[in-house]
């Protein structure tokens, strides 16, 4: 910029290690970066031009920051809690955004389930309860549903606070309630019937919308660690393993939902299950890029910089984001601790090392780690490429022995 005029500003909501790449990308594109994150030690503060210690869920305080800094765009990169704030601030200031009502619907499970039912999408039977409900009362509510059941906070992401309840047992509900309350900010929970899967993995990954149409299809399938309960994703594999007919059905449902919501642009995080009859069901459609560095993984697969696309579209710009699929065989694997403690190190079997093409470390040896229950507890992420699907599946079947996170 010349003549003393400062660059256009972008407000970024969240400065975690996984969100630093969005700050770096915005700076590379020549934008002035303004960061909001309430944590004093958030890594993003070291990269942003201006930073404020404000909660990304405090809409009015974030709006004040946006007005004070005169930003031209707002981005909640890879953050579910911040997505409604970004839409609210952008709407108030007349900046590029998806409809606030739609973003709010996608951010709270009870609103999303209600939307799905009202618009004719497949959906399990569900009951909405307050987090202060007793286990005995919840057991009574469950009488109207069929087991197994899933108890979930309505405003969490990444399967945090989610428990499967297999039978009508008060003690099971007590434990499930305690877990859900730990991750519930709004005090609302959903109890819903478990969907019996006809495809062995949850469909995950991200899509990108341009002018209301999905132009980028980054469908993958989620990896889980059964030793930790099998609910929290520990990576994504590509290709997903879907048949052509299954992928067509998933794509049709995704585009239909995007259209019904009136989503205009941006990256959306997908989680779906295909039931025993072959019908896709939405678990989530996040109004933001996926966590665990999914945009980076998909950028490697497609050759399209999705982080850059997020920034450009938030600022009212555009770029080519067309991708229908590729032939790369790859996966990400979240390095995670089996228990609380101090990180001693990470051991990777020599036979797996040739497939590892990138490793991102979040915690150094000697740093404190927690038992993995969500992306915020990740020790790091490995990215791997394989010569064939068979080679990848063999490695994934043995990941527990090929990769070991040592904790003392």
Average pLDDT over residues 328-346: 96
CATH superfamily of domain region 203-407: ATP-grasp fold, B domain (3.30.470.20)
Residue 97: closest CA among 306, 297, 315, 285: 315
* pLDDT recorded at residue 160: 81
Lowest-confidence region among 129-143, 163-177, 295-309, 371-385: 371-385
* pLDDT recorded at residue 231: 77
**Cβ neighbours for 151, distance < 8 A, ≥ 6 positions apart:** 138, 162, 163, 165, 173, 176, 177, 179, 180, 189, 190, 191
pLDDT band at 3 (very low <50, low <70, confident <90, very high): low
**Maximum CA pair distance of the chain?**
71
pLDDT, tens only, 346-371 = 999 999 999 999 999 999 999 999 99
Beta sheet of 403-407, edge-to-edge order: 368-369, 341-348, 403-407
* pLDDT recorded at residue 387: 98
Share of the chain above pLDDT 90, in %: 91
Burial 53-81 (b: 16+ CB within 10 A, else e): ebbbbebebbbebbeebebbbbbbbbbbb
* pLDDT recorded at residue 121: 97
* pLDDT recorded at residue 122: 96
pLDDT band at 305 (very low <50, low <70, confident <90, very high): very high
Average pLDDT over residues 53-80: 98
How far, CA to CA in Å, does 216 sit from each of 112, 195, 210, 249?
23, 27, 9, 16
Degrees (nearest 5) of the Cα angle 157, 163, 167? Answer: 155
* pLDDT recorded at residue 247: 97
| Neighbouring-strand partners of residue 213 | 210
Average pLDDT over residues 147-162: 88
pLDDT, tens only, 4-26 = 688 999 999 999 999 999 999 99
pLDDT at residue 290 above 70? yes
* pLDDT recorded at residue 260: 98
Cα dihedral 356/357/361/364 (nearest 10): 60
pLDDT at residue 389 above 50? yes
Does the domain spanning 125-193 belong to CATH 3.30.1490.20? yes
Token pair, residue 87, equals 């839409």
Average pLDDT over residues 63-75: 98
Share of the chain above pLDDT 70, in %: 99
Average pLDDT over residues 322-338: 96
pLDDT, tens only, 178-231 = 999 999 999 999 999 999 999 999 999 999 999 999 999 999 999 988 877 777
The CATH number given to 9-97 is 3.40.50.20
pLDDT at residue 165 above 80? yes
Average pLDDT over residues 44-63: 98
Query: What's the predicted TM-score (pTM) here?
Result: 0.94
pLDDT at residue 73 above 90? yes
**Domain locations along the chain:** 9-97, 125-193, 203-407
Angle between helices 59-69 and 83-93 (to 10 degrees): 50
* pLDDT recorded at residue 1: 43
Average pLDDT over residues 335-355: 96
| Neighbouring-strand partners of residue 192 | 126, 150
């Amino acid at each position: 910029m010349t003549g003393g005029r400062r660059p256009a500003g972008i407000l970024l909501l969240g400065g975690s290690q996984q969100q630093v790449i969005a700050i770096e990308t915005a700076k590379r594109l020549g934008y002035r970066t303004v960061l909001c994150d309430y944590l004093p030690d958030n890594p993003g503060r070291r990269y942003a031009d201006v930073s404020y210690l404000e909660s990304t869920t405090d809409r009015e305080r974030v709006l004040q920051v946006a007005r004070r800094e005169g930003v031209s765009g707002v981005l909640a990169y890879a953050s579910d809690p911040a997505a409604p704030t970004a839409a609210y601030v952008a709407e108030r200031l007349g900046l590029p955004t998806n409809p606030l009502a739609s973003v709010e619907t996608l951010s709270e499970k009870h609103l999303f389930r209600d939307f799905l039912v009202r618009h004719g999408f497949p959906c399990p039977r569900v009951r909405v309860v307050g987090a202060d409900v007793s286990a005995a009362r919840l057991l009574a509510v469950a009488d109207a549903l069929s087991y197994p059941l899933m108890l979930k906070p309505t405003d969490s992401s990444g399967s945090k606070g989610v428990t499967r309840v297999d039978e009508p047992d008060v003690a099971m509900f007590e434990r499930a309630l305690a877990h859900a309350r730990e991750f519930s900010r709004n005090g609302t929970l959903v109890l819903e019937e478990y969907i019996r899967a006809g495809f062995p993995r949850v469909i995950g990954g991200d899509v990108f919308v341009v002018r209301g149409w999905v132009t980028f299809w980054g469908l993958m399938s989620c990896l889980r660690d059964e030793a930790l309960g099998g609910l929290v994703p520990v990576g994504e594999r590509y290709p997903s393993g879907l048949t052509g007919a299954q992928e067509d059905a998933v794509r049709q449902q995704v585009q239909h939902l995007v259209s019904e919501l009136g989503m205009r642009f941006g990256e959306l995080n997908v989680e779906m299950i295909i039931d025993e009859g072959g019908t896709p069901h939405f678990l989530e459609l996040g109004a933001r890029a996926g966590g665990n560095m999914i945009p980076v993984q998909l950028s490697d697969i497609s050759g399209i910089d999705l982080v850059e696309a997020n920034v450009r579209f938030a600022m009212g710009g555009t770029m080519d984001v067309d991708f229908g699929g590729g032939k790369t065989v790859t996966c990400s694997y979240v390095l995670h601790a089996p228990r609380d403690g101090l990180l001693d190190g990470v051991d990777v079997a020599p036979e797996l090392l040739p497939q590892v093409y990138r490793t991102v470390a979040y915690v150094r040896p000697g740093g404190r780690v927690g038992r993995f229950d969500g992306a915020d507890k990740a020790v790091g992420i490995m990215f791997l490429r394989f010569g064939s699907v068979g080679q990848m599946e063999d490695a994934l079947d043995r990941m527990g022995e090929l990769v070991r996170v040592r904790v003392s």
